[in-house]
């Protein structure tokens, strides 16, 4: 089984627009939205939820005020500034608590509970392009890496069970924990970038991360005509590094219009954009064979 | 006063807005890039770098001689960063959150504090502006501890107002960046993706009780769902930046759009007035409440 993930180093580069089109073109694939903080792929694919599960991960500290003896041990030991002292006594700020259990273990009065934390939901859905695995993390939760890993496992299992040979994922922005989880075990990363100073900067950082995972890198330059000179620079960088350049994608309102119509570009090919992506997808698949 | 520029998602123009605001702020101002995974603000402000220091997290180092293999450290570690395997103590520094629990519970004092590099904290100046950013080491998964260190520095050096370029999304890092602000600017786009992420961000940040206003970037591009939602929920729209190819081009050249595109300077000055007024009003309410 093969895995392709579409990433961008930063959000808003057009990752989901590309992922949506590729989802349409992919045959025999399980689709997966790994951007669990701010998933968007469902806006294009209009999934019908078939299964819904809660995602529990980690714990959080909760002080029982009536048992607290005001010794301040927790306040002093918490490395994450999650313990607050006010006129109402000691309490835990849930957003800051990392669930490390230090206060729980060290509280001399045993006044701190450590319940499991419900962090969000994940789903298996039907879409017009096949089965999709996706999730929504509650705001402020930080276990997105674990949720990404869970989604990937689910996608793989379902692909195997269904005799499908590809997992196609809309990845996560950034270069931190969730992307690291997205890249683990992935064969090919399609990096969507823009010809802007941040675009090239982010591309370099995320490509370096891919190399660390021995994930093959292919690059798609979105809105290339906004700054042709910068596009040249990005392409030179790719040649230099041996990354395949999949496509120069123009700046075009149709990308937004298709979003408004809840369609992907390959479904109706406005201004030839869909045709461009069809070629890009062919080239992407060819890369898997290499 | 502290202002955070946030967005439900990357690519909506958060950094462009931050750069423009920082550039036209007449009072003393410190521009802080807390998007440590993909810091981009410096690409627009071009600060002269005056100092770079490394950020570390404290991780345990084992003194094998002293360890009696009691397993107390393994039992407290919630992140599987320390374990006993076939009688050998193993530490996985990459997984350590630096909570200090293992060191606190080890009866033999066999664990001593070592360190793992998180990334760097960069300080600079651009005109009258102080500049500060964090840059996560590639391969480092934990952004929040580096962000905390950048915020600590911010506490030392910031005189006057602070403009924070927050990380995208609504997960832990974003909440962390927004938490201490006096007012939050939510940058969004009038597209289905933009609206979806905006709604998530609004739901996530609302409980913090910080005054919040919207900036609609690329106005005229999509539909008016975002505007309608703002009206319905009573979210003030502090600025609308039109959809204009000239803006996209200026951005792609690394220029500050308030300087580069005629008419935008006034838009941003108005935005500033709204931000300051909202923060001041909230301050007054705070006095009343206290
Ligand atoms: S350590 Fe326990 S007893 Fe001490 S202040 Fe914290 S909650 Fe209260
Ligand atoms: S569990 Fe850890 S992070 Fe949470 S409050 Fe206790 S010491 Fe702080
Ligand atoms: S410091 Fe905390 S996270 Fe790190 S190894 Fe020790 S117990 Fe685990
Ligand atoms: S707690 Fe200390 S003595 Fe016990 S296994 Fe860990 S390092 Fe060794």
Mean pLDDT of A17-28: 94
Q: What is the mean pLDDT of chain A?
A: 91
Please say if the pLDDT value at position A197 is more than 70.
yes
Contacts of A144 in chain B (CB under 8 A): 171
* Residue A102: φ, ψ to 5°: -60, -45
Contacts of A102 in chain B (CB under 8 A): 76, 99-101, 104
Please say if the pLDDT value at position A290 is more than 80.
no
Please say if the pLDDT value at position B129 is more than 70.
yes
Chain B's closest residue to A79, CA to CA, is B99
Going by the DSSP 8-state scheme, the letter that residue A58 receives in this structure is: E
Please say if the pLDDT value at position A260 is more than 90.
no
Q: Give residue B115's pLDDT.
A: 95
Q: For a pocket test of ligand 4, which of B65, B88, B89 has the largest count of ligand atoms closer than 8 A to its C-beta?
A: B89
Using DSSP bridges, classify how beta strands B161-165 and B111-126 pair: parallel, antiparallel or unpaired.
Answer: unpaired
Say which of B38, B248, B251 has its CB closest to residue A202: B38
Please say if the pLDDT value at position B287 is more than 60.
no
The packing angle between helices A15-25 and A273-289, to 10°, is 70
Contacts of B8 in chain A (CB under 8 A): 38
Please say if the pLDDT value at position B246 is more than 90.
no
Mean pLDDT of B43-57: 94
CB B192 to CB A260 under 8 A? yes
Mean pLDDT lowest among A114-128, A168-182, A241-255 = A168-182
Distance B68 CA to ligand 4 centre (A): 6
CB B38 to CB A174 under 8 A? yes
Domain A2-57+120-289 has CATH 3.40.50.410: no
CB A226 to CB B252 under 8 A? yes
Please say if the pLDDT value at position A96 is more than 90.
no
Closest residue CA from atom 8 of ligand 1: A68
CB A223 to CB B248 under 8 A? yes
Annotation: CATH topology of B2-55+119-288: Rossmann fold (3.40.50)
Q: Which of residues 107-136 of A touch B (CB under 8 A)?
A: none
Please say if the pLDDT value at position A286 is more than 90.
yes
Tell me whether A194 touches chain B (CB under 8 Å).
yes
Closest residue CA from atom 2 of ligand 3: B99
Work out the percent of chain A whose per-residue pLDDT is above 70.
Answer: 98
Mean pLDDT of B222-236: 90
Residue B286 banded pLDDT, cuts 50, 70, 90? low
Q: Which of residues 174-233 of B touch A (CB under 8 A)?
A: 175-176, 179, 191-193, 196-197, 200, 203-205, 221-223
Q: Give residue A105's pLDDT.
A: 95
Domain ranges of chain A: 2-57+120-289, 61-114
Whether A2-57+120-289 shares its CATH topology with A61-114 is answered no
User: How many helices (H) and strands (E) are present in chain B, helices listed first?
Assistant: 11, 11
Q: Give residue A9's pLDDT.
A: 67
Q: Give residue B143's pLDDT.
A: 86
Going by the DSSP 8-state scheme, the letter that residue A94 receives in this structure is: T
Q: For a pocket test of ligand 3, which of B75, B79, B111 has the largest count of ligand atoms closer than 8 A to its C-beta?
A: B79
Q: What is the mean pLDDT of chain B?
A: 89
Say which of A79, A98, A139 has its CB closest to residue B200: A139
Using DSSP bridges, classify how beta strands B88-91 and B82-85 pair: parallel, antiparallel or unpaired.
Answer: antiparallel
Q: Give residue A205's pLDDT.
A: 87
CB B43 within 8 A of CB B203: no
Please say if the pLDDT value at position B290 is more than 50.
no
Q: Give residue B99's pLDDT.
A: 95
CATH, range B57-117? 3.30.70.20
The DSSP result for B177-214, as a single string, is HHTT-SEEEEEE-SSHHHHHHHHHHHHHHGGGT--EEE
To the nearest whole Å, the CA of B271 is away from the closest chain A CA by: 23
Q: Number of CB pairs < 8 Å for A and B?
A: 176
Closest residue CA from atom 4 of ligand 3: B96
Q: Is B141 helix (H, G, I), strand (E, B) or coil?
A: coil
Place of tokens 């793989």: A156
Tell me whether B252 touches chain A (CB under 8 Å).
yes
Residues framing ligand 2 (Cβ under 6 A): A 61, 78, 80, 82-83, 92, 97-103; B 99
Ligand index nearest the alpha carbon of residue A77: 2
Give this complex's ipTM: 0.80
Q: Taking the CB of residue B63, how many other CB atoms lie within 10 A of it? A: 14
Q: Tell me: the pLDDT tens digits for A158-168?
A: 999 999 999 99
- H helix intervals, B128-263: 143-157, 172-178, 192-205, 225-233, 245-252, 257-260
Annotation: CATH topology of A61-114: Alpha-Beta Plaits (3.30.70)
Domain ranges of chain B: 2-55+119-288, 57-117
Mean pLDDT lowest among A53-57, A226-230, B154-158 = B154-158
Please say if the pLDDT value at position B194 is more than 60.
yes
Mean pLDDT of B239-261: 84
* Ligand 2 nearest atom to the CA of residue B99, by list position: 2
Distance B61 CA to ligand 1 centre (A): 28
CB distance B118 to ligand 3 below 6 Å = no
| Rounded CA Rg of chain B | 22
């Amino acid at each position: 089984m093969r895995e392709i993930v579409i990433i961008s180093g930063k959000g808003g580069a057009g990752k989901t627009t590309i992922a949506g089109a590729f989802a349409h073109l992919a045959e025999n694939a399980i689709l997966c939205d790994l951007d669990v903080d701010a998933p968007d792929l469902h806006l294009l694919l209009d999934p019908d939820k078939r299964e819904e599960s809660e995602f529990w991960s980690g714990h959080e500290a909760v002080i029982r005020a009536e048992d607290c003896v005001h010794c301040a041990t927790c306040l002093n030991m918490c490395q994450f500034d999650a313990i607050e002292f006010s006129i109402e006594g000691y309490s835990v700020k849930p957003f800051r608590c990392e669930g490390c259990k230090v206060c729980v273990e060290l509280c001399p009065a045993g006044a701190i509970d450590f319940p499991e934390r419900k962090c969000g939901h994940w789903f298996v859905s039907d879409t017009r392009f096949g089965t999709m695995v996706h999730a929504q993390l509650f705001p402020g939760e930080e276990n997105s890496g674990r949720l990404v890993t869970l989604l990937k496992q689910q996608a793989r299992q379902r692909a195997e069970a269904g005799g499908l040979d590809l997992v196609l994922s809309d990845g996560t922005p950034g270069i931190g924990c969730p992307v690291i989880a997205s890249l683990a075990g992935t064969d090919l990363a399609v990096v969507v970038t823009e010809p802007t100073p941040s675009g090239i900067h982010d591309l370099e950082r995320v490509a370096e991360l891919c190399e660390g995972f021995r994930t093959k890198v292919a690059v798609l330059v979105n809105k290339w005509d906004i700054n042709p000179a910068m596009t040249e620079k990005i392409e030179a960088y790719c040649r230099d590094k041996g990354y395949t350049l999949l496509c120069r994608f123009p700046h075009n309102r149709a990308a937004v219009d298709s979003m408004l119509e809840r369609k992907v570009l390959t479904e109706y090919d406005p201004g030839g954009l869909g045709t461009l992506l069809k070629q890009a997808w062919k080239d992407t698949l060819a890369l898997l064979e290499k | 006063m502290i202002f955070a520029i946030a967005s439900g998602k990357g690519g909506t123009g958060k950094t462009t807005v931050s750069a423009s605001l920082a550039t036209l702020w007449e009072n003393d101002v410190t521009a802080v890039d807390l998007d440590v995974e993909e810091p981009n603000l410096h690409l627009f402000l071009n600060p002269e770098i005056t100092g770079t220091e490394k950020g570390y997290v404290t991780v345990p180092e084992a003194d094998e001689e002293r360890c009696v293999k009691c397993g107390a450290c393994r039992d407290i570690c919630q992140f599987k960063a320390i374990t006993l395997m076939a009688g050998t103590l193993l530490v996985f520094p990459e997984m350590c959150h630096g909570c200090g629990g293992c060191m606190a519970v080890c009866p033999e004092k066999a664990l001593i504090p070592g360190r793992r590099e998180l990334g760097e904290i960069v300080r600079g100046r651009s005109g009258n502006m102080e500049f500060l950013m964090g840059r996560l080491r590639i391969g480092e998964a934990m952004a929040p501890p580096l962000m905390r260190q950048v915020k600590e520095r911010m506490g030392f050096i910031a005189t006057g107002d602070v403009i924070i370029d927050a990380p995208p999304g609504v997960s832990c890092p974003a909440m962390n960046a927004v938490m201490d602000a006096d007012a939050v600017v939510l940058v969004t786009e009038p597209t289905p993706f933009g609206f979806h992420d905006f709604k998530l961000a609004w739901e996530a940040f609302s409980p913090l009780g910080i005054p919040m206003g919207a900036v609609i970037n690329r106005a005229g591009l999509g539909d008016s769902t975002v505007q309608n939602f703002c009206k319905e929920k009573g979210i003030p729209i502090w600025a609308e930046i039109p959809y204009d190819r000239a803006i996209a081009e200026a951005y792609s050249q690394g220029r500050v759009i308030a300087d580069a595109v005629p008419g935008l300077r006034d838009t941003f000055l108005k935005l500033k007035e709204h931000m300051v007024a909202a923060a001041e009003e909230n301050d007054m309410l705070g006095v009343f409440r206290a």
